Amino acid sequence: MKSLLFLVLMLTSLVAMAGQYAEVKDNIYANLRSGKAETYPVITVLKPKAKVEVLNTENRYARIKTTGGQEGWIALRLLVVKSPAATAVTKPAVPDLSAPLAQCKIALQSAQQTIQAADERLTRAEAALQQREAALTSAKQLTIVVGAMSLLVGLLLGMILREHYYRKRLKGLRI
């Protein structure tokens, strides 16, 4: 009965270790292996006091994950389990970026104002160009009308002068 109780307590303690953090014992370099026996190949060697996460345990071995992301098996006798409070990970300090952010916002507003001013100048230039094109078009039309009028005046003048020539020289007689 005592051995059964001991076995149950041992299994619950091993299950309770899963998801906890541990450290390699002081002054011990521990082999991280690909399987749960000393016959499996070594993946890497962990330094003393190396922090690891215990994923699960079986028999006398624990499956762990290193801070570098490597997973493997290590003998439980080489680990010291830490309480979650003792292994609280401190977050790195985030630098204050409010000043550079404010400078970027000011630069962005300045750039937007410059773009808006350039857009207004472009709109005015396009309107002036349209007015010039309209004036040029009307000048071309006027040139065509003046040319056509000149041609008509020339034809009429030619006809009148020819008629005058026949009347004066030939006294109205046509050949």
Read off the pLDDT of each residue in 100-129 and give the average, rounded to a whole number. Answer: 94
Q: What's the chain's average pLDDT?
A: 83
**Res. 35: pLDDT tops 60:** yes
Phi, psi of 130 (to 5 degrees): -65, -40
Rg (CA), the chain: 50
Q: Which span out of 33-37, 73-77, 88-92, 117-121 was modeled with the highest average pLDDT?
A: 117-121
What CATH fold (topology level) applies to the domain 2-82? SH3 type barrels. (2.30.30)
Query: Which residue is listed with tokens 């493997």?
Result: 72
Please tell me the pTM assigned to this model. Answer: 0.40
| pLDDT at res. 163 | 81
List pLDDT tens digits, range 137-158. Answer: 988 999 999 999 999 999 999 9
SS3 87: coil
Distance from chain centroid for Cα 3: 62
The tokens describing 2, both together, are 């005592």
What count of other Cβ atoms lies within 10 Å of the Cβ of residue 142?
Answer: 10
